[in-house]
């Protein structure tokens, strides 16, 4: 599994194994732009003709390969799962901010690793 696609709040995020040192995952967003080309009068109602989503924009990296996590929902680092509910509760108490915005690493760690 080389990449995972998640659709959150009408945006498409791509999660890949990180190329950065000691990081587990990199998050990218599809950079979609509407084309201004006039469509032919065909009866096709496909929206894919209007959008160009070829470029990926880097958002953040999250997770550290040197540490365990509660449960890896992506599955690439399932060997680091500890499944300790006490440690999970402590993590959630310490990291209460930045878990509601997908632009922050805390969001991805909160929902996908812990």
Give the per-residue SS3 of 15-49: EEECCCCCEEEEEEEEEEEECCCCCCCCCCCCHHH
Comparing C-alpha atoms, which of 43, 60, 51, 61 is closest to residue 10?
Answer: 51
Percentage of the chain exceeding pLDDT 70: 78
At 84-94, the pLDDT tens digits run 999 999 999 98
- Give dist(CA 89, CA 110) in Å, integer: 11
Comparing C-alpha atoms, which of 47, 65, 53 is closest to residue 29?
Answer: 53
Mean pLDDT of all residues in 35-41: 52
């Amino acid at each position: 599994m080389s990449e995972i696609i998640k659709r959150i709040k009408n945006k498409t995020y791509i999660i890949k194994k990180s190329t950065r040192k000691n990081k587990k995952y990199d998050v990218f967003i599809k950079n979609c732009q509407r084309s201004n080309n006039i469509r032919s009068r065909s009866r096709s109602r496909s929206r894919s003709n209007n959008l160009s989503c070829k470029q990926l924009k880097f958002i953040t990296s999250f997770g550290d390969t040197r540490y365990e996590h509660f449960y890896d929902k992506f599955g690439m680092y399932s060997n680091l799962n500890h499944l300790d509910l006490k440690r999970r509760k402590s993590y959630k108490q310490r990291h209460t901010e930045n878990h509601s915005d997908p632009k922050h690493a805390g969001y991805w760690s909160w929902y996908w690793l812990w």
